[in-house]
Amino acid sequence: ARFADQEVIRGEGGETHQVAGGDVPVLTTQQGVPVADDQNSLKVGYRGPTALEDFHFREKIFHFDHERIPERVVHARGFGAHGYFETYEPLSDLTRADLFQRAGEKTPVFVRFSTVAGNKGSADLARDVRGFAVKFYTQEGNWDLVGNNIPVFFIQDAIKFPDLIHAAKQEPDRGFPQAQTAHDNFWDFISLSPEAAHMALWIMSDRTIPRSFRFMEGFGVHTFRLVNAEGKSTFVKFHWKPKLGMQSVVWNEALKINGADPDFHRRDLWNAIQAGDFPEWELGLQVFDQDFAEKFDFDVLDATKIIPEEILPVRRIGRLVLDRCVDNFFAETEQVAFCTQNIVPGIDFTNDPLLQGRNFSYLDTQLKRLGGPNFTYLPINAPKRPVHHFQQDGHMAMVNPKGRANYEPNSWGGAAGGPREAPDIGFRSFPAEEQGAKLRIRAESFADHYSQARQFYLSQTPVEQTHIADAFTFELSKVKTPAIRARMVSHLMNVDKGLADKVATGLRLEEMPKPADAARPTRDLPPSPALSILLNG
Ligand code: HEM
């Protein structure tokens, strides 16, 4: 008998054995031993117990038992694809980063989109921030731009991140809700953290229920540095602009889609790429210098602030095209390890205290998630340029240094001595001057939490403003503790009185709270049309 081109033999118990032959490879154990029978364990007698010596059975079950690795502590649910980044024009005046030196140059990339709060199996259309992480495999090493679809963040200092995430994920006693902002712990934390006011407006906007990954903007969020060959540094904010424009669903649709197809976003990306309808984004830069940074009203090191595009236009410098789905979800999408500290010569950090903390966190968590210090050898994480160093051993060491030299300096000349330093082309940190007392403190320049929140709200079309008010009302209506609802409305009063009134009415608050204490008076900034989806879309 044959089935799907396989010769089939029936066993004595009627079970199916498909037989190798022709192009069909022989099934083996991990040790390469050919397998005769994969349907039956080794038994003592026809109906007897399974023998301990059945190494094939034990190996197969042992491997299965260990299939799961810890899911990411945040951004557990994600979906990745391969593609390339194409540079439009040389940027050597701004940066020596190799990928930006030649017009038309294509750099391979891997991108992973994600939700933040939900577990690995949660639904795609939860109201949540979306991760937008890009790994550029440049000729001078891997550069990871680990961004989100929202240009600001909840907190200003990474030391608050565990608290933010504990509050956002399921409550520890009951294990729910899985992926919704609608619960007491989340709004308790947000309402006790005035710095989250700006981000709160963004997450209640349509941006957190995107139509698909293909219709989202992306942002590097922090201010980074570009450094050119002369060592001159320029500040930069990174933006991704979707070719299809921005689109979102409405909340009603989100709820229905989540029920009907929790894989809606990953299916959309997979289908588009398989159909040859390759999604595209343009990479944009907002570049500025120290003088601009000092004139600007907010601190450019504060990740809760944007630089409005009307003040500093976004210069588009290249395009990202996703044109290939993964061959294997686990090997690529699950095992990919993005890290903000993966930068290349020509790109550097600033002192943004959120970025500084992220630089520690990602590698640290990946040591555990990916089982030791050698995950950079996994094909999805390995640079596409040759790698030479003296790091060795550890769990899963795959490429130890060859020969005698596993240290330097050493006396073994030529190739026998192993790799050497490259003073001219190697990475050097930008020599930013730093001084001051060691203080556990937040700079005063980070203290205005409401002006940009108001600016964002006023930048929205009336329809979008209604969506924001409805979202606050819906989410806060799930909060059981009246004091938390009232505290949240007290922040909204500093953002926009009309918004605060609508939400208070929606929640049937008995009395209007006093506006929250503001460390700095809220200023009226001109609305920024670029912040609206409907005007762009
Ligand atoms: C994962 C973005 C803040 C810790 C991620 C991912 C993204 C992201 C996109 C998913 C990467 C992937 O697809 O594999 C951001 C942005 C932030 C931010 C834009 C603020 C601007 C932070 C902070 C910390 C942090 C402040 C900690 C101090 C982590 C950790 C992971 C993660 C531990 C899991 C990484 C892994 O298991 O591979 N973040 N994040 N993030 N983030 Fe962040």
Integer Cα distance of 133 and 354 in angstroms: 17
The structure tokens listed for 105 are 């140059």
The answer to whether 222 touches 352, Cβ cutoff 8 Å, is yes
Residue 410 annotated as catalytic: no
DSSP single-letter state for residue 21: B
Work out which ligand 1 atom sits closest to the CA atom of 360. 28
- Say whether 45 sits in a helix, a strand or coil: coil
The angle subtended at Cα 226 by Cα 225 and Cα 230, nearest 5°, is 125
**Which one is catalytic: 148, 185, 381, 494?**
148
Work out which ligand 1 atom sits closest to the CA atom of 148. 19
The type of residue at 533 is: I
Integer Cα distance of 12 and 140 in angstroms: 60
Q: Is 370 in the pocket of ligand 1 (CB under 6 A)?
A: no
Q: What is the 3-state secondary structure (H, E, C) of 322-372?
A: EEEECCCHHHHHHCCCCCCCCCCCCEECCCCHHHHHHHHHHHHHHHHHCCC
The CA 172 to ligand 1 mean position distance, Å, reads: 21
The pLDDT assigned to 340 comes to: 98
Which of 141, 285, 201 minimizes the C-alpha distance to 469?
201
Residue 75 annotated as catalytic: yes
The pLDDT assigned to 537 comes to: 47
Residues comprising the chain, all counted: 537
pLDDT tens, N- to C-terminus, the chain (537 residues): 555 567 899 999 999 999 999 889 999 999 999 999 999 999 999 999 999 999 999 999 999 999 999 999 999 999 999 999 999 999 999 999 999 999 999 999 999 999 999 999 999 999 999 999 999 999 999 999 999 999 999 999 999 999 999 999 999 999 988 767 889 999 999 999 999 999 999 999 999 999 999 999 999 999 999 999 999 999 999 999 999 999 999 999 999 999 999 999 999 999 999 999 999 999 999 999 999 999 998 999 999 999 999 999 999 999 999 999 999 999 999 999 999 999 999 999 999 999 999 999 999 999 999 999 999 999 999 999 999 999 999 999 998 988 999 999 999 989 999 999 999 999 999 999 999 999 999 999 999 999 999 999 999 999 999 999 999 999 999 999 999 999 999 999 999 999 999 999 999 999 999 999 999 999 999 999 999 998 764
Q: Using CB atoms within 10 A of its CB, is residue 405 exposed (0-12), middle (13-18) or buried (19+)? A: middle
The pLDDT assigned to 4 comes to: 59
Q: Is 75 in the pocket of ligand 1 (CB under 6 A)?
A: yes
Q: Is 153 in the pocket of ligand 1 (CB under 6 A)?
A: yes
Work out which ligand 1 atom sits closest to the CA atom of 369. 37
Q: Is 341 in the pocket of ligand 1 (CB under 6 A)?
A: no
Work out which ligand 1 atom sits closest to the CA atom of 357. 28
The angle subtended at Cα 433 by Cα 427 and Cα 435, nearest 5°, is 135
The answer to whether 127 touches 168, Cβ cutoff 8 Å, is no
Q: Is 160 in the pocket of ligand 1 (CB under 6 A)?
A: no
The structure tokens listed for 527 are 């609305």
Integer Cα distance of 368 and 182 in angstroms: 30
The CA 169 to ligand 1 mean position distance, Å, reads: 14
pTM above 0.90, yes or no: yes
Q: Is 366 in the pocket of ligand 1 (CB under 6 A)?
A: yes
